[in-house]
């Protein structure tokens, strides 16, 4: 399952996000989105978890939790329009 993670602090690392989600199961990838021109983080990213039950547990547990002073927005990623 592909999971959207938003409202991230711009200083957060992909490793710290991956560690948070790994508490709930296997993480196959974690990618933070950056601006192409400046390389600066955009404040959101995506986590891929192969097991849907573990992914749902992570969504339920981490949505609205605080990380580096910001409340996370965590939900199932929607396909690009």
DSSP calls for 7-59 = S--TT--HHHHHHHHHTTS---EEEEEE-TTT--EEEEEEEE-S-HHHHHHHH
Domains of the chain: 9-76 (3.30.70.330)
11, 78 contact by CB (below 8 A): no
pLDDT tens-place string over residues 1-56:
999 999 999 999 999 999 999 999 999 999 999 999 998 999 999 999 999 999 99
Q: What are phi and psi of 76, to 5 degrees?
A: -65, 130
pLDDT tens-place string over residues 41-65:
999 999 999 999 999 999 999 999 9
Name beta bridge partners: 74.
5
Rounded to two decimals, what is the model's pTM? Answer: 0.93
């Amino acid at each position: 399952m592909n999971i959207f993670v938003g409202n991230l602090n711009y200083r957060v690392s992909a490793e710290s996000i991956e560690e948070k989600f790994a508490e709930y199961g296997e993480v196959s990838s974690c990618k933070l989105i950056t601006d192409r021109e400046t390389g600066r983080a955009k404040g959101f990213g995506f986590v891929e978890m192969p097991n849907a039950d573990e992914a749902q547990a992570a969504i339920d547990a981490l949505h609205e939790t605080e990380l580096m002073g910001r409340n996370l927005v965590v939900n199932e990623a929607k396909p690009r329009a």
